[in-house]
Chains A and B, each alone.
Chain A
Amino acid sequence: MITCQELADLLVDFFADDATPQCRKVVQEHLAHCQGCGVFVQTYSVTIRLTRRMPAVPMRPQFAARLLQLLREAVQEQP
């Protein structure tokens, strides 16, 4: 069975969409026997899921208006 540190080193691969069956297997085997890592991985997973739901940072309306005007001018200047 892998050590706790080896598990930590595998977490990016484990949470990737293309995680290999072997990676999933060794991580899950470790988690089945290590309560501390289980809690840690659960909080790590929550962190990823919350971040993925973050909204975009809004632009200031004045900037959006200025940007639109600038792009219109750029389009008009094109040959």
Chain B
Amino acid sequence: MTPEQVVRDYAPRVYSIARRMLGNDADAEDVTQDVLLQVVRKLNTFRGEADFWTWLHRVTVNMALVHRQKRARRAEHEIPDPTQQFQDGHHVKPWAIEPEKQAINRELSGLLEQAIANMPEIYRDVYILADIEGLSNPEIGEILGLSVPAVKSRLHRGRLLIREALAPHFEEVKA
């Protein structure tokens, strides 16, 4: 494995996870650099592709969490409970959208990225690993040190927050 292959095959995914978890380029670049230096040093020790990707996710998330702690910018604030929207009688309007036909254009991508960035960190980390990276709930629990029920609870709340952010853009407007 050459440095060129490492940058081509692994850097985009590592950077993307770190960027979404940390919310800025500089911190994501620091984490990506540290993770990929470990990759080139340990690449020969992996038993297979699946083994490697599990390790890569774990190291990326751990380094991002350490970086976040170093930043010490964790604002103390009340974490919203998005499940409240369901308890309120779920007066939900339908969405005028067919997802398969909806292009992820710059506007929608920006909207989703902003909604993820605005999400409380405890929901965001799980959400990124589950719905963007496609990891299973047990894998996420192992990486983040959470029980599977805790992963599911946070994932559900994260999805509700994203749904809430998208709703004004897709809700049907009755003529």
Contacts and interface: CB of A to CB of B under 8 A. Distances in A.
Contact of A59 (B15, B20, B159, B167): B15
Contacts, number: 125
A17 to B, nearest CB: 8
A8 B160 CA distance: 10
A67 B90 contact: no
B45 interface: no
Interface in A17-75: 36-37, 39-40, 42-44, 46-60, 63-64, 67-68, 70-72, 74-75
B95 A46 contact: yes
Nearest 8 CB-CB pairings of A with B: A71-B3, A56-B16, A47-B163, A12-B152, A57-B19, A49-B99, A51-B131, A57-B16
Contacts of B155: 12
Interface stretch (B5-13, B52-60, B73-81): B5-13
Nearest to B3: A71
Contact of B92 (A16, A43, A71): A43
Judged by DSSP, the binding face of A is: helix
24 contacts: A5-B86, A12-B156, A13-B152, A40-B90, A43-B92, A47-B166, A48-B131, A50-B112, A54-B104, A55-B109, A56-B15, A57-B16, A59-B15, A59-B32, A60-B25, A60-B29, A67-B29, A70-B37, A71-B6, A72-B3, A74-B3, A75-B2, A75-B3, A78-B41
A8 B132 CA distance: 21
A17 B54 CA distance: 19
**Contact-residue bracket for chain A:** 35 or more
A12 to B, nearest CB: 4
Nearest to B99: A49
Interface string B143-175: 000000000100110011011001100100000
B13 A56 contact: yes
Contact of A36 (B20, B90, B99, B132): B90
Interface residues of B, number: 55
Nearest to A49: B99
A54 B86 CA distance: 26
A75 B40 CA distance: 7
